[in-house]
């Protein structure tokens, strides 16, 4: 196996699902597995999550849903964003549950259900402030009436999404209030909405009133807090990224390292080359800023991160040798540590760990 690899702890995944279940009680749990389960491997994660009895799996695009269906996954799969109408045939054929927020897509879904002789379950996305997808609030009741008139579609629930949960409590509470008001208005007019869902990971942790009938959890299921907290209470990181030193040499003062000569040694410096680079998802912005762990000690990244390799300074690490294990990401170098270094978010850090890195499941 390639020395640079991603280690996925499925036992920690199970613990995180159990911790979530304890808080949820009889509420439903959707585990988000889009973007290859945030880099953890969608099929393996979905198999384990399904075995744990989660209620739904959430994907981002049709292809991700088809991949899980072809792997034999029986847990219902929701596409969390509305797809284009040209994808309707596949959505219905593979029994995926679409998210709907436009009349044209809804009518096309009804036609395709009739053509394939299938009642199509769907979720409606209501825009309470995210501004990405969603039925506008003033069109919500009308939209539900359209669904009620259609023969080949059936509403399973209504969802909305938070942009600043855990950061802006006031805006989040306003969204919850708007959602509740619209749901009550719809139900008072005889419209059945079996599942109401707002809470993402941040809201699940910070806003109890956001937990309606179902939560949609991604990052926290993988043991990472959506707001800065390197060690979220009760949750365990699922991903580690490891490599090995492939080459060592000592350079004299004045000698440069890597492209652009962004590092020039001021003293004799021992450099270790690690075979992981930006093509693997190790961000180039970590050049001269990041660090890795060797023999329990920090080794700063020096020079530009390249496509296939990264250089680290091991001058002060005793007895270092070729083949020594290198920790790229784990509890000692969290996704938040890397994200803050490159001015990003942990979602990006873990989901970009690329297909070139083998997954080792433990």
pLDDT per residue as tens digits for the range 274-290? 999 999 999 999 999 99
Pair 257, 155 in one domain: no
Task: Please tell me the predicted confidence (pLDDT) of residue 1.
Answer: 85
Q: What is the mean pLDDT of residues 165-178?
A: 95
Q: Which of 151, 145, 149, 144 is nearest to 126 (CA)?
A: 144
CB 235 within 8 A of CB 16: yes
3 located within any domain? no
19 located within any domain? yes
Q: Residues near 242 by Cβ (< 8 Å), separated by ≥ 6?
A: 4, 5, 7, 325, 326, 327, 328, 330
Pair 330, 260 in one domain: yes
Write the CATH number for 263. Answer: 2.40.37.10
Q: Residues near 119 by Cβ (< 8 Å), separated by ≥ 6?
A: 113, 152, 153, 154
Residue 346, token pair as written in the block: 């942990």
Residue 228, token pair as written in the block: 């800065």
Write the CATH number for 62. Answer: 3.20.20.10
pLDDT single digits (tens) 18-77: 999 999 999 999 999 999 999 999 999 999 999 999 999 999 999 999 999 999 999 999
The answer, yes or no, to whether residue 101 has pLDDT greater than 70, is yes
Q: Which residues pair with 28 in a beta bridge?
A: 214
Question: What is the rounded distance in angstroms from the CA atom of residue 200 to the CA atom of residue 175?
Answer: 13
Q: What is the mean pLDDT of residues 264-271?
A: 98
227: confidence class by pLDDT, cuts 50, 70, 90: confident
Pair 91, 22 in one domain: yes
Pair 25, 155 in one domain: yes
208 located within any domain? yes
Pair 285, 253 in one domain: yes
Pair 169, 250 in one domain: no
Pair 22, 155 in one domain: yes
Catalytic residues: 34, 259
Q: What is the mean pLDDT of residues 311-337?
A: 96
Q: What are phi and psi of 170, to 5 degrees?
A: -65, -50
182 located within any domain? yes
231 located within any domain? no
Q: Which of 278, 236, 218, 239 is nearest to 360 (CA)?
A: 239
114 located within any domain? yes
Pair 202, 284 in one domain: no
Residue 123 vs residues 58, 113, 167, 196, 288: alpha-carbon distances, Å: 12, 15, 27, 10, 46
Task: Please tell me the predicted confidence (pLDDT) of residue 77.
Answer: 98
CA contacts within 13 A on the Cβ side of 28: 18
Question: What is the rounded distance in angstroms from the CA atom of residue 74 to the CA atom of residue 298?
Answer: 44
Pair 149, 70 in one domain: yes
Look up the pTM and report it.
0.94
Task: Please tell me the predicted confidence (pLDDT) of residue 228.
Answer: 77
Pair 288, 341 in one domain: yes
191 located within any domain? yes
Task: Please tell me the predicted confidence (pLDDT) of residue 232.
Answer: 67
340: confidence class by pLDDT, cuts 50, 70, 90: very high
Q: Residues near 65 by Cβ (< 8 Å), separated by ≥ 6?
A: 59, 77, 79, 91, 94, 96
Which residue range forms the structural domain that includes residue 38? 10-222
| 192, 222, 252 - which closes a domain | 222
Pair 211, 351 in one domain: no
| 193, 222, 251 - which closes a domain | 222
| 222, 252, 271 - which closes a domain | 222
Residue 304, token pair as written in the block: 């530009």
Percentage of residues of the chain with pLDDT beyond 70 = 99
70 located within any domain? yes
Pairing of strands 359-361, 325-329: unpaired
Calculate ∠ Cα 53-58-60, nearest 5°.
160
């Amino acid at each position: 196996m390639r020395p640079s690899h991603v280690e996925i702890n499925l036992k920690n995944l199970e613990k995180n699902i159990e911790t979530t279940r304890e808080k949820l009680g009889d509420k439903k749990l959707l585990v988000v597995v889009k973007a290859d389960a945030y880099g953890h491997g969608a099929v393996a994660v979905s198999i384990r999550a399904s075995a744990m009895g989660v209620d739904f799996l959430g994907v981002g695009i049709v292809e991700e849903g088809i991949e899980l269906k072809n792997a034999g996954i029986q847990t219902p799969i929701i596409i969390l964003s509305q797809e284009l109408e040209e994808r309707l045939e596949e959505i219905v054929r593979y029994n995926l549950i679409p998210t709907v927020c436009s009349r044209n897509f809804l009518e096309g879904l009804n036609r395709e259900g009739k053509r394939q002789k299938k009642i199509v379950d769907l979720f409606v996305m209501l825009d309470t402030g995210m501004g990405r997808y969603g039925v506008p609030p003033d069109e919500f009741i009308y939209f539900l009436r359209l669904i009620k008139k259609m023969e080949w579609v059936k509403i399973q629930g209504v969802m909305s999404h938070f942009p600043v949960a855990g950061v802006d409590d006031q805006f989040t509470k306003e969204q919850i209030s708007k959602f509740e008001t619209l749901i009550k208005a719809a139900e008072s007019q005889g419209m059945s909405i079996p599942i109401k869902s707002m809470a993402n990971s941040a809201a699940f942790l910070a806003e109890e009133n956001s937990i309606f009938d179902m939560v949609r959890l991604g990052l926290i299921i993988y043991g990472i807090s959506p707001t800065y907290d390197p060690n979220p209470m009760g949750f365990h990181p699922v991903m580690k990224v490891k490599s090995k030193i492939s080459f060592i040499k000592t350079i004299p003062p004045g000698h440069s390292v890597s492209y652009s000569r962004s590092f020039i040694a001021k003293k004799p410096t021992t450099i270790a080359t690690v075979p992981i680079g930006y093509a693997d998802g190790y961000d180039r912005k970590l050049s001269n800023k990041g660090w890795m762990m060797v023999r329990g000690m920090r080794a700063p990244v020096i020079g530009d991160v390249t496509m296939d390799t990264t250089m680290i300074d091991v001058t002060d690490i005793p007895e270092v040798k070729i083949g020594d294990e290198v920790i790229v990401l784990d509890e000692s170098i969290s996704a938040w540590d890397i994200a803050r270094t490159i001015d990003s978010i942990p979602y990006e850090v873990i989901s970009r760990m690329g297909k070139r890195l083998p997954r080792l499941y433990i």
